Structure 1
Amino acid sequence: MMRRAGEFRTVPALLAALAGWTCALPFAASAEPATLPAIFPAPVSIALGTGTVTLGTSVGLVVADGTGPETIAAVRQILESAGVETVATARRVPARLDRTYVILGTGKAAVVRAALGRSNTVLDGHDEGYTITSAAGNGGGIITLAGHDADGLFHAVQTLRQLVRRPTLPALVIQDHPAMPIRGTIEGFYGKPWSMADRTQHLDFLATVKANTYVYSPKDDPFARDRWREAYPAATLASLGTLVATARRNHVDFVYAVSPGPSVCFSDPADAQALERKFAALRGIGVHRFYVALDDIEYTKWNCDRDKAAFGPSGADAAGVAQAKLLNAVQANLVATDPASHPLIMVPTEYYDAKETPYKAALRKHLDPRVVVQWTGTDVVPPAISIPDARTATKAFGRKTLLWDNYPVNDYAQTTGRLLLAPYARREAGLSAELTGILSNPMNQEAPSRVAVTGVVAFGWNDTAYDPERTWQFSARALAGGDARAEAALLTFFDTQHMAPTFGSQPWQPQAPRLKAALDAVRDTIANGDASARRAAITDLSRQADALADASDVIRSGTVDPAFAEQARPWLDALQRWGRALQLTAAGLDAADHGNRAAARYFADARRIAAEAAGIQTIPGATRFDGPIKIADGVLDRFVADAPTLIAVR
């Protein structure tokens, strides 16, 4: 719950504790009023005090023993990016402040406990939780980043990253922790897998949004699916080891998934041993969390005669029993061989809906209760997920499920030609009480996937305070590097890729709602027949067209992540042409409104450029289905086609 200024009783105590700290250097204390910062994901609680703190050019850094080097390095980088020229290591905060000090550590450290005690603030006691306090005194200030554990402390640093983007920090207290214990992504799409560079960038991104899980499960890795019994080549294993180290540095659990379903013999001890060997090799490079995927396979036939002898004729019930036997053996081996191991995760063959079936009943009865079960919701691509849906899944599988949300994945036919850039929405607040966590299945395009993934992770962190639109805008701001013009261009582009299809005929998110509202307003105004209003509407349309036409160049100008611009390249090419077509359409409407016969030429040129735009194709092989790029389809193309009929040329 968000608290208003003055409601948090410890802020005055914090300020009182700092009242005795004085210094002749006035630069660190500011007379600017404190304003509530926007933090994403939304914190559990944030309360303002009085006054603000300026970092200045020199900051003292007090680091508690046991703080990870990656956390210290992140704080230094954040402070330097904020304009701090000198970050001086200090053993303690002096009684008389000479600058602003940052205290960094977990609640186990005496220096951190003392800082919280001086402010009469208690440490957030949840796993991955953290507390931040800041207050200004005469000549300086103090900022305390206190983690319940090392992960919580790292999350606190990500909040600091957002706080210091403002010129001054308000005096405040933040208490925060995640609602769901598992939050992140599963690279589980079909088609071209991400490159190791993509994965590295993705892990760095996941850290900034307080995710804690990445599942390596590319469908096209032969050594994880078709050739799962075989050992990885040494070079590939080394590359995965580098990736695991990157995940660890970012406080993200690297989960290795294997998909043996197409060929496994469930009753053969040799196959269980093959899985154990595979996991042992991955454990050797630092992996401690494993996953067995049994999705997208048949249970109408066995892969070996031995299974028929062991479990009887093939079918749903027998498959559930057979799978449980294998998974239980793997789970037992993990516990026996790796004290640091987490519970095994599995995705069942019936991974969607929550209807009672013989297969689910068999899993419920026979599967080790420690094994985590994934579930995609009410459908493969569900239009919405409610609390009752999740409760029904809990009943069906005999445990709370880990949600595999197939958004924004674009590896199925209905997504051909699309990037899925709508905000993450229509998941009910309160699901955190019914799920063990949430993983997003992203697109083949890593950087554009961050738009939706930011929302998925923010929902998993604090589903009750999650705001889809504000988080969507935050994702644009982050990709734009804080540049307002680039942020606006990205939001313009996102709107043209707003459609979120399902496996059915109806999308669960509409196409281009902002642009559609603007174009509908032009249609309505022209239909009204008022001359002055009509001309104003056409002028506004020209501005809209300019924004569309210019957005691609702004996005490519250098402030937006270059990976985003490259992976969205054909969409940006098409957007630019569609923007030009709309500019010509606006010119045609203006000419028609003034009785100028040049209108016909403008409209003809608009149709020609629109046809060029509609002919642009996806990058060959980048996604599972290649095809023509779609830009605000059903909205922009329809308006360009209809415009010549809206005003008769006199």
Structure 2
Amino acid sequence: MTPELGVIEGYFGRPWRHEDRKQVLTRLRGLGFSYFHYAPKADAFLRRRWREPHPDAALAELAELSAHCRSLGLRFGAGLSPYELYRDFSGPARDAFVAKLRSLDAIGLDDLAILFDDTRGDVAGLAALEAEIVHIAQAHTRARRVLMCPTYYSDDRMLDIVFGPRPAGYLEDLGRRLDPRVGVYWTGEEICTREFGPGHLARVADQLRRKPTLWDNYPVNDGPRMSRFLHLRGFTGRPSVIGPHIAAHAINPALQPHLTLIPAATLVAAYRQGQGYVYMSAFREAAHAQAGDELAAMLEEDLHALQGRGLDQLGEDRARLRARYAAVDHPMAAELLRWLDGADTVDGWIEDA
């Protein structure tokens, strides 16, 4: 069973260029993906500066992107992170929130995601406050589908270390309070989960009183460490047997939009092929289909250097790789060159770049 597949552009670092986004979404639709949620951490007007309106040019670009998705039959959504709104959801703050929803409605939303990820969670009554905010959004948006991401969106204890200890029974409380129609994003046992299993997903579904929507942090490569690697290998640890246990499966893409197409295609293959899936064969097939024969062969030859060793361990190979890919006229080769030049490294979790 292949679940609904989507992409949530929810990484730290430089957002994709508008034209790249349109081109890649066209190809993702052809692969079988059915929705896209725009939520880059660097869009400050969706996060720390959410009370401020987007500049007119940015709104026009998003409206064009929405229309492009609609022309493809791809659901378009935005992820709004009303930064720490739960600390003060008084009249003025509520009014500002509703005004923001209306401005997002104007660009044409099929989906609206309210995201509470990567913010402090040591707040009394956190689940009740988040549910209230989501229900206000549900009542005022014209989007036909509403999702949310909890503050504690994984079992990973790193969230408790960075954002404060999670309240006891948080997921159960959230699941009990949320309208059953609201989808819930979940990254798994870890923030960057190695494997999703039916047992884990069934437990989370029981806690949330609904099947989770996966926010899969592969092939994303943001942050100070991961941005020094290219995530190109085929998906592993996503067996097709998880399909009945989830509402949908969305990937958080890499900083390199065109290169993202290779692993994205392997996720489709993993579900379609079931027990017959072989991740390296899927990589080869996807690379040849998305990059062409010459570039695909080069990427496979250099896979260990690009994904295993990473930018800081390339040494003299860095210059060799740069000369090798500079000779290829292809968007993926251009992205690889940019990465080799260090232009995609993320030196910190900087949202408002």
Residue of 313, 325, 330 corresponding to 2:137: 330
**Contact kept? 1:324, 1:366, Cα under 8 Å:** yes
Code of the residue aligned with 1:242 in structure 2: it is E
Partner residue, 1:352? 154
Cα distance change, pair 354–380 in 1 and its aligned pair in 2 (3 A): closer
Q: Does 1:553 align with 2:324?
A: yes
**What stretches of structure 1 of length at least 5 have no aligned partner?**
1-177, 301-313, 502-510, 512-547, 573-616, 627-650
Partner residue, 2:47? 225
Code of the residue aligned with 1:348 in structure 2: it is P
**Contact kept? 1:451, 1:472, Cα under 8 Å:** yes
Q: Does 1:447 align with 2:258?
A: yes
Cα distance change, pair 455–500 in 1 and its aligned pair in 2 (3 A): farther
Partner residue, 1:285? 107
Cα distance change, pair 284–296 in 1 and its aligned pair in 2 (3 A): same
Cα distance change, pair 500–382 in 1 and its aligned pair in 2 (3 A): farther
Partners of 2:274 and 2:347 lie apart in 1 by 33
Q: Does 1:393 align with 2:161?
A: no
**Contact kept? 2:48, 2:83, Cα under 8 Å:** no
Partner residue, 1:470? 281
Code of the residue aligned with 1:491 in structure 2: it is E
SS at match of 1:623: coil
Cα distance change, pair 243–570 in 1 and its aligned pair in 2 (3 A): closer
**Contact kept? 2:101, 2:137, Cα under 8 Å:** no
Cα distance change, pair 248–414 in 1 and its aligned pair in 2 (3 A): same
Partners of 2:75 and 2:39 lie apart in 1 by 14
Residue of 432, 440, 450 corresponding to 2:243: 432
Code of the residue aligned with 1:353 in structure 2: it is D
SS at match of 2:61: helix
Please report the TM-score for the alignment, with normalisation by the length of structure 1.
0.48
Q: Does 1:276 align with 2:78?
A: no
**Contact kept? 2:229, 2:309, Cα under 8 Å:** no
Partner residue, 1:625? 347
Partners of 2:297 and 2:24 lie apart in 1 by 23
Q: Does 1:568 align with 2:336?
A: yes
Task: Give the 5 Å matches for 1:45-194.
Answer: 179-181=2-4, 183-194=5-16
Code of the residue aligned with 2:155 in structure 1: it is D
Task: Report the RMSD for the aligned CA atoms in angstroms.
Answer: 2.8
SS at match of 2:145: coil
**What stretches of structure 2 of length at least 5 have no aligned partner?**
158-166, 314-318, 349-353
Deviation at 1:496, TM superposition (A): 2.8
Deviation at 1:365, TM superposition (A): 1.6
Residue of 305, 311, 314 corresponding to 1:496: 305
SS at match of 1:568: helix
SS at match of 1:190: coil
Q: Does 1:294 align with 2:89?
A: no
Deviation at 1:426, TM superposition (A): 1.3
**Contact kept? 2:50, 2:83, Cα under 8 Å:** no
Please report the TM-score for the alignment, with normalisation by the length of structure 2.
0.85
Partner residue, 2:33? 211
Residue of 193, 210, 221 corresponding to 1:410: 221
Partners of 1:495 and 1:451 lie apart in 2 by 16
Partners of 1:370 and 1:411 lie apart in 2 by 31
Cα distance change, pair 256–460 in 1 and its aligned pair in 2 (3 A): farther
Residue of 249, 254, 258 corresponding to 2:80: 258
* Cα shift readout 1:202-259 (whole Å, capped 9, x = no counterpart): 2122122111111100111111011112222221111111111111122211111111
Task: Give the 5 Å matches for 1:522-541.
Answer: none
Code of the residue aligned with 1:215 in structure 2: it is H
Partners of 1:241 and 1:268 lie apart in 2 by 30
Partner residue, 2:145? 343
Q: Which has the higher helix share?
A: 2
**Contact kept? 1:387, 1:428, Cα under 8 Å:** no
Cα distance change, pair 625–475 in 1 and its aligned pair in 2 (3 A): farther
Partners of 1:261 and 1:188 lie apart in 2 by 15
Deviation at 1:266, TM superposition (A): 5.4
What is the percentage of aligned positions where both structures have the same residue?
Answer: 27
Cα distance change, pair 247–570 in 1 and its aligned pair in 2 (3 A): closer
Deviation at 1:263, TM superposition (A): 4.3
Partners of 1:194 and 1:623 lie apart in 2 by 14
Cα distance change, pair 410–625 in 1 and its aligned pair in 2 (3 A): farther
Partners of 1:252 and 1:328 lie apart in 2 by 25
Deviation at 1:623, TM superposition (A): 2.9
Partners of 1:298 and 1:252 lie apart in 2 by 33
Deviation at 1:375, TM superposition (A): 0.4
**Contact kept? 1:354, 1:396, Cα under 8 Å:** no
Cα distance change, pair 456–275 in 1 and its aligned pair in 2 (3 A): farther
Partners of 1:329 and 1:461 lie apart in 2 by 38
Code of the residue aligned with 2:342 in structure 1: it is T
SS at match of 1:392: helix
Deviation at 1:295, TM superposition (A): 0.4
Structure 1 or 2, whichever has the larger Rg, is 1
Deviation at 1:354, TM superposition (A): 8.6
SS at match of 2:302: helix
Deviation at 1:500, TM superposition (A): 10
Partners of 2:223 and 2:9 lie apart in 1 by 15
